[in-house]
Amino acid sequence: MAMLTRYNPRSWLLEEPERTGPLQLRHELDRMFRDFFREPWPTETFGGTTLSPRLNVAETDREYTIELELPGIRKEDVDISLQEGMLVIRGECKQEKEEEGRRFHRVERCYGSFSRSLSLPTDADPEKIQARMDNGILYVTLAKSKEAERKTRKINVK
């Protein structure tokens, strides 16, 4: 489960340590301990070998937009659902059929299934959620409810 928090442009200093070099193990251990307190069920294992698509969440006056990187995954292999106030996105990246006599010298691509869960914002309208895939990116749009707009108003200080 992930909470929606506002983006901090300076957070990149803490987020992605160098993945190579003599301090790689220390950086990975630091990241794992840091992420343990951020998410109750971390989705990335040591070395980043688990399929855990990265996402962006943006907000305008009218809607929230979630962009999820899903290269090599067909839209038929993606499932989006609402479960107890959570937007759950699941999918699977299927490994290509193995060929006889084919030997790999390096394997970096990830295969398998994934699941990302996000708390639905209180002002999102669960009846107006749309999704589309374009060039390996899943776009999920959550419209804000008109009722939430009416509840918001400016109060002048006298």
Q: Are 43 and 50 in contact (CB under 8 A)?
A: yes
Can you give the CATH number for the domain in which 117 is found? Answer: 2.60.40.790
- The token pair that represents 50 in the structure block: 């688990």
Give the global pTM.
0.61
Q: Which residue has the tokens 């998410």?
A: 39
From 110, 102, 139, 116, select the one nearest 49 (Cα to Cα).
110
Enclosing domain of residue 45:
22-50
* The residue type at 119: S
Pair 33, 91 in one domain: no
In sequence order, which residues have a C-beta less than 8 Å from that of residue 29 and are 6 or more positions away? none
From 71, 58, 68, 63, select the one nearest 90 (Cα to Cα).
68
Pair 149, 89 in one domain: yes
Would you write out the chain's pLDDT as a tens digit for each of its 158 residues? 555 555 555 554 454 445 556 677 777 777 777 766 654 444 444 344 457 788 999 999 999 999 999 988 999 999 999 988 889 999 988 877 777 888 777 777 777 888 999 988 888 998 999 999 999 999 999 999 877 655 656 667 86
Pair 86, 33 in one domain: no
Pair 27, 82 in one domain: no
- Supply the pLDDT for residue 107: 72
- Supply the pLDDT for residue 129: 93
